[in-house]
């Protein structure tokens, strides 16, 4: 079993979504031997589901728009624990990255003057919050993620990038110098296990929304890369910060873009009241996502929810008219008819706040280099990189603004690709791993393959998702979270002892699902412990028992250390290079 092939690359990118393929594009052009390892054909990655757009100050809707305003909005949206050096880089480099996408062929919608169409999204302002609502989200109708992902794949084909499609990465390989030298992976199609050796390994595996029972995320969003890093002993940052999107379709979980509210839609309760006027008098339905989601939950808890059980909210769009809906929001009309049995041209869509995005992840710098913590200091991990939702660079802090995730993917995918190219061409890189190192990384897979009794993947997954949904949802409380933590302890035993009944090698999806469940568990555990420790309410992390933001004690990142299963603090960066930092202030909309 352990005589496996070694396949050698310069750089290895785990994950074929937006960030991975933006990085691989940069590397494919450089001539380095690179491969993208993706458990699905790349255009099946979850970036494809992004709808409303990519937020960036390209000054199309407003010729006076300024990336500094975008930066201000992002810092405020993050509730002041986003790193300001990274946010500055995101917002100032953004236009370059977006124009490149257009040059690659991305079919953006257009204004009459031929420039890229931009729509308003939540949390956007002009003139540092003083100039009213901005329209800063560049869109390809409401299929921006699809257009972006396909464009990136197409350009990877153009540049001749290598893909190991339907290969599944199991664990990182680490040598005695604590360098990452690649991954253990297997071909889903035929079961072949290999050590994929690389000078640079990039985790671009996206989020893990499937830790919750109700999520907008694809079934494949199981946090594989982050979990691999955790198992290798590397930390995760800000794991308590999970975004609940205000508008997931009730019952189905499918996303309904914030662009609906950007185009003029609004939320109503059972009395037909536009309740966001009470919670965010200035910007109403376009407040930050955390604010809108909490307001919706409060409406439901106070008995003003819609439907037979008063358990959801209505998103009203019919007043926009068929023309606007068909041209600007065609995908939403389609999803709504299919999953809510409602035609938004005539009726409101039933929606509920639904788990959407992981703000936390493997901590990195703006070049995508992952780091660990030793004696409360940052130390780069040789050979390991992370980008996109899997990473925490951190531009989203405690709450991500709509449209900033696609920008994050391309800006940092690009930066990471460029950095690796420079590093490897100047002779950087890592040494090799021994047979023992490789065997250590094969353990988990071998144990699963040899299992002849144990727990059922589907049952345990349901238990895990219910636990996270019940105890670590939109509102959190210490005593309940304690119960959740106890339940997770029981679950750990089960997750470590799954029974794989089907041992065959040909396209064995149950093997994949078992490993994915283990990955989900590792991410869930980091989430639960971090959430329990942060004794304040900030951004997406709302505690009943600590309802206020506490800058004195918690204006910081949390760092979860998987070895000790404990949480420490890390300072937030307040040192942008081109302008003065934005100091924390009360966050109102």
Partner 1 sequence: MFGNKLEISLYRYNPEEDKFPYMKKYIIDKPERDIMVLDLLNLLKEEDQSISYRRSCREGVCGSDGMNINGKNGLACITPISEVIKRNKIELRPLPGLPVIRDLVVDMTEFYSQYEKIKPFLQNETTAPEQERLQSPEDRDKLDGLYECILCACCSTSCPSFWWNPDKFVGPAALLQAYRFLVDSRDLKTQERLESLSDPFSVYRCHGIMNCVNVCPKGLNPNKAIGEIKSMLHKNKKDIIVSDGA
Residues annotated catalytic, as ranges: 289
CB of 145 to partner 1, least distance (A): 8
Which one of residues 219, 301, 322, 579 is an interface residue with partner 1 (CB under 8 A)?
219
187 backbone dihedrals φ, ψ, rounded to 5°: -80, 120
499 backbone dihedrals φ, ψ, rounded to 5°: -105, 115
Residues 254-293: x/- map of binding to partner 1 (CB under 8 A)?
A: x---------------------------------------
209 backbone dihedrals φ, ψ, rounded to 5°: -55, -15
Rounded Cα gap, residues 289 and 123, in angstroms: 8
Asked if 506 interacts with partner 1 (CB under 8 A), we say yes
CB 317 within 8 A of CB 260: yes
Complex with partner 1: residue 126 or 210, whichever CB lies closer: 210
Candidate ranges 213-221, 308-316, 382-390, 467-475; the one touching partner 1 (CB under 8 A): 213-221
Asked if 45 interacts with partner 1 (CB under 8 A), we say yes
Rounded Cα gap, residues 584 and 37, in angstroms: 41
Residues 4-43: x/- map of binding to partner 1 (CB under 8 A)?
A: ------------------------------------xx-x
CB of 383 to partner 1, least distance (A): 29
Rounded Cα gap, residues 107 and 310, in angstroms: 41
Say how many residues touch partner 1, by CB under 8 A.
58
> Which segments within 188-302 are labelled E, that is strand?
193-203, 236-237, 242-249, 266-268
Residue 244, SS3 per DSSP:
strand
Neighbouring residues of 3: CB distance < 8 A, sequence distance ≥ 6:
none
CB of 22 to partner 1, least distance (A): 15
Q: Which element (helix H / strand E) includes 414?
A: helix 404-425
Asked if 309 interacts with partner 1 (CB under 8 A), we say no
Complex with partner 1: residue 138 or 317, whichever CB lies closer: 138
Which one of residues 5, 113, 452, 564 is an interface residue with partner 1 (CB under 8 A)?
113
CB 259 within 8 A of CB 53: yes
Asked if 552 interacts with partner 1 (CB under 8 A), we say no
CB of 107 to partner 1, least distance (A): 5
Complex with partner 1: residue 54 or 239, whichever CB lies closer: 54
The distance from CA 31 to its chain's CA centroid, rounded to whole angstroms, is: 29
CB 399 within 8 A of CB 243: yes
Half-sphere exposure of 181 (CA within 13 A, CB side): 21
Residue 11, SS3 per DSSP:
strand
CB 314 within 8 A of CB 267: yes
Asked if 46 interacts with partner 1 (CB under 8 A), we say yes
Candidate ranges 171-179, 343-351, 503-511, 518-526; the one touching partner 1 (CB under 8 A): 503-511
Report DSSP state, residue 542. E
Candidate ranges 110-118, 286-294, 373-381, 574-582; the one touching partner 1 (CB under 8 A): 110-118
Complex with partner 1: residue 43 or 432, whichever CB lies closer: 43
Rounded Cα gap, residues 198 and 37, in angstroms: 12
Residue 229, SS3 per DSSP:
helix
Complex with partner 1: residue 210 or 541, whichever CB lies closer: 210
Q: Which of residues 325-384 bind partner 1 (CB under 8 A)?
A: 331, 334-335, 338-339
Rounded Cα gap, residues 430 and 8, in angstroms: 13
CB of 10 to partner 1, least distance (A): 24
Complex with partner 1: residue 151 or 175, whichever CB lies closer: 151
Complex with partner 1: residue 112 or 479, whichever CB lies closer: 112
Complex with partner 1: residue 44 or 418, whichever CB lies closer: 44
Candidate ranges 6-14, 100-108, 410-418, 428-436; the one touching partner 1 (CB under 8 A): 100-108
Rounded Cα gap, residues 237 and 384, in angstroms: 16
Which one of residues 1, 8, 127, 157 is an interface residue with partner 1 (CB under 8 A)?
157
Examine residue 394 and say whether the peptide bond preceding it is cis (omega within 30 degrees of 0).
Answer: yes
Which one of residues 8, 189, 311, 545 is an interface residue with partner 1 (CB under 8 A)?
189
CB 388 within 8 A of CB 412: yes
Q: Which element (helix H / strand E) includes 137?
A: strand 137-138
Residues that bind partner 1 (CB under 8 A): 40-41, 43-46, 48-49, 58, 95, 98-99, 102-105, 107-116, 140, 143, 146-147, 150, 154-155, 157-158, 189, 218-220, 252, 254, 331, 334-335, 338-339, 457-458, 500-502, 504-510
């Amino acid at each position: 079993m352990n005589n496996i092939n070694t396949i050698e690359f310069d750089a290895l990118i785990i994950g074929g979504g937006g960030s991975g393929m933006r990085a691989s594009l940069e590397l494919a052009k450089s001539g380095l031997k690179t491969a993208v390892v993706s458990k699905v054909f790349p255009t099946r990655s979850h970036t494809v589901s992004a709808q409303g757009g990519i937020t960036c100050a390209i000054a199309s809707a407003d010729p006076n728009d300024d990336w500094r305003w975008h930066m201000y909005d992002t810092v405020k949206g993050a509730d002041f624990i986003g790193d300001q050096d990274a946010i500055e880089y995101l917002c100032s480099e953004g236009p370059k990255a977006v124009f490149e996408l257009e040059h690659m062929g991305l079919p953006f919608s257009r204004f009459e003057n031929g420039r890229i169409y931009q729509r308003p999204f939540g949390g956007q302002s002009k003139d540092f919050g003083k100039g009213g609502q901005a329209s800063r989200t560049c869109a390809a109708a409401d299929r921006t993620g699809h257009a972006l992902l396909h464009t990136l794949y197409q350009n990877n084909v153009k540049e001749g990038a290598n893909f190991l499609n339907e290969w599944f990465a199991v664990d990182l390989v680490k040598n005695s110098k604590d360098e990452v030298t690649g991954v253990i992976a297997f071909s889903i199609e035929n079961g072949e296990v290999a050590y994929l050796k690389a000078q640079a390994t990039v985790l671009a595996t996206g989020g893990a929304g499937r830790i919750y029972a109700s999520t907008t995320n694809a079934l494949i969003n199981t946090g594989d890369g982050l979990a691999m890093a955790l198992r290798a002993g590397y930390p995760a940052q800000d794991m308590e910060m999970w975004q609940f999107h205000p508008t997931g379709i009730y019952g189905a979980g499918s996303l309904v873009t914030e662009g609906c509210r950007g185009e003029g839609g609004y939320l109503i309760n059972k009395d037909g009241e536009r309740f966001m006027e009470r919670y965010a008098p200035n910007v109403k339905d376009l407040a930050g996502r955390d604010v809108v989601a909490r307001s919706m939950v409060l409406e439901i808890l106070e008995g003003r929810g819609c439907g037979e059980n008063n358990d959801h909210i209505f998103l009203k769009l019919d007043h926009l008219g068929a023309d606007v809906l068909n041209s600007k929001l065609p995908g939403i009309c389609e999803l709504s008819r299919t999953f809510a049995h409602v035609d938004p041209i005539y009726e409101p869509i039933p929606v509920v706040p639904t788990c959407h995005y992981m703000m936390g992840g493997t901590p990195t710098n703006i070049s995508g280099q992952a780091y660990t913590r030793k004696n409360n200091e940052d130390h780069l991990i040789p050979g390991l990189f992370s980008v996109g939702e899997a990473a925490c660079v951190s531009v989203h802090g405690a709450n991500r603004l709509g449209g900033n995730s696609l920008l994050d993917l391309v800006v940092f995918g690009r930066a990471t690709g460029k950095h690796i190219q420079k590093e490897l061409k100047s002779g950087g890189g890592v040494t090799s791993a021994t047979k023992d190192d490789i065997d250590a990384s094969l353990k988990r897979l071998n144990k699963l393959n040899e299992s002849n009794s144990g727990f059922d993947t589907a049952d345990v997954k349901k238990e895990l998702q219910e636990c996270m949904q019940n105890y670590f949802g939109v509102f959190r409380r210490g005593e309940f979270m304690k119960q959740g933590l106890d339940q997770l302890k029981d679950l750990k035993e089960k997750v470590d002892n799954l029974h794989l009944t089907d041992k065959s090698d040909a396209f064995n999806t149950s093997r994949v699902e078992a490993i994915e469940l283990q990955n989900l568990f590792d991410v869930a555990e980091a989430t639960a412990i971090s959430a329990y420790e942060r004794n304040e309410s900030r951004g997406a992390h709302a505690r009943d028992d600590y309802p206020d933001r506490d800058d004195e004690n918690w204006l910081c990142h949390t760092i979860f250390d998987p070895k000790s299963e404990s949480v420490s603090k890390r300072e937030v960066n307040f040192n942008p290079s081109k302008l003065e930092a934005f100091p924390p202030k009360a966050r109102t909309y």
